[in-house]
Amino acid sequence: MPLSDLEIARATKLRPIESVASGLGIPESALYRYGPVKAKVDLGWLERQPENPDSKLVLVTAISPTPAGEGKTTTSIGLADGLRRLGMKAALALREPSLGPCFGVKGGATGGGRAQIAPMEEINLHFTGDFHAITAAHNLMAALVDNHLYWGNALGLDESAIAWKRVMDMNDRALRRITLGPEGRGPARESGFDITVASETMAVFCLAESASDLMARLERMVVGRAKNGEWIRAEAFKGVGGMAALLKDALHPNLVQTLEGAPAFVHGGPFANIAHGCNSVIATRAARRLADIVVTEAGFGADLGAEKFLNIKCRSAKLVPGAVVVVATLRALKMHGGVAKADLARADAAAVTRGLPNLKRHLDNMARFGVRCVVAVNRFAGDTPAEFDALASACREWGVEAISCAHWADGGEGALELARKVREMAREKTEFRLLYPDHMPLEEKIKTVATRIYGAAEVAFSETARAKLAQYEKDGFGAFPVCMSKTQYSFSADPERMGAPEGFTLPVRDVRLSAGAGFVVALTGDIMTMPGLPRTPAAERIGLDDDGEIYGIF
């Protein structure tokens, strides 16, 4: 019986974190240790390090996810290990896992097989406590808002226009709508919870470039509107200092390692289907200062995470990707070609061909940004040469190379061909461009993403969404990029429409202003900012054995 991911990780002897840090030139004095194999790196020390203008940034994204699995994180890790085997000074910059998916569907988010970051069970659960700090900071502001109302509402806050919800880092659909009671002072009001990784505090944390930038962004966050129509920002409640104090330690980026000892900065973790889906700017810049090539990842398919990485994170932080890796599996392509999950073990090159339009659209979308792509085919045991040839021949026609990768089974050795191709691509000059300019109206930005990236024919805005967008434009927020909140399973807002649907109408039911993060969120279809647990959650399989060791994380 093959070893589980957790058993593989525990069977691997990890290097002391001081040794991992030393490989990047980080002295022991700049480390805040969390045990022997994980640490935070002092932000002040990092900010004193010179920029590395020759460092290359590689983005790993994927086709639209399916229950068959794609493996972006696994491929990112295998690629970094492969680059190091080629003698390159490589590092990873990844997101932290959220407890919601760990106990919901995924069970873990630290890679798999021989391509993992470790210690995997600690990273997947509490890690260094960053998400708890973000949760507490966000909820501090919520408590201050309600306390302000209780003591007379001197700011004249319109209770029906309060946008600030509470958050927790767990899937709990029962908390989507709650009633808040003022203990006899005024009427009750309706509110709810979002998951922490969908919160604006998480987005601000991940887009901030320094502690001072974090403070400025926290101050700019809009909590609601006054009865006279004016925006009321977080700074008005005099709690931003407290929020920053709670986030002080969390802001230092976390350093861990792959099973092969490659350094990995793992920091921040907004969802890509309801937030912007990228790790922190601080961690990405830290990795670029210290390594010659940095592998990062954006969540879900390229229509979500990659689009937001390029349109939001790169715009905000002035980053330029040197290459993009689009991850696909033959199993997932067969599902996009109409094969049921139960039948995926059966060889079916024709189904792979039928599923290729999904991959093609993602590649076409990346080309719109002027970035060079390679397709990494994350290999499974049942894959056949005929199935791979169907994919590879189509990619050749499209002018893109497809590379079969075995990093899950063989670690960096199984990703050497991919690493060579990425090294070659990263050395070439890039022609990166944004999808839309800052001055484009917000409605047009949403339509641009919907039509050019998703394949929609039109966008149907609710009256509420259209009125809010007009108000945002009027009040000076029109230059913001848009953060689309959409199902990850389809280009459309319907999760059942796999493949590459086109000509559909994308419904935008509401929009939210994230003034501190610097974007406008567009809520499409039935997407929820507080997910629910599946019928059989991963939590049912996670526990402690008689030796006090965690099991069930995968």
- Give me the active site residues, please: 72, 74, 95, 106, 272, 300, 380, 408
For residue 487, give Cα distances in angstroms to 98, 103, 304, 508: 18, 20, 9, 12
Longest dimension (CA), the chain: 72
How many Cβ atoms sit within 10 Å of the Cβ of residue 65? 19
Residue environment code for 487-512, b if the CB has 16+ CB neighbours within 10 A, otherwise e = bbbbbbbbeeebbbbeebebbbbebb
Of 527, 522, 446, 457, which is closest to residue 493 (Cα–Cα)?
A: 527
Q: How far apart are CA 227 and CA 161, in angstroms?
A: 9
Residue 529 CB neighbours (<10 A): 22
User: Do residues 120 and 127 touch, judged by C-beta distance below 8 A?
Assistant: no
Within 13 Å, how many C-alpha atoms sit on residue 197's CB side?
A: 28
Rounded Cα distance, 353 and 388, in Å: 10
Q: Is the dihedral of CA 74, 76, 80, 85 positive or negative?
A: positive
What is the spatial distance between Cα 483 and Cα 272, in angstroms, rounded to a whole number?
9
Q: Are 72 and 60 in contact (CB under 8 A)?
A: yes
The rounded distance, in Å, linking the Cα atoms of 231 and 514 is 12
- How far apart are the C-alpha atoms of 253 and 264, rounded to whole Å? 10
Distances (CA, A) of 198 to 11, 168, 231, 234, 521: 35, 10, 22, 18, 10
Residue 501 is encoded by which pair of tokens? 């649907």
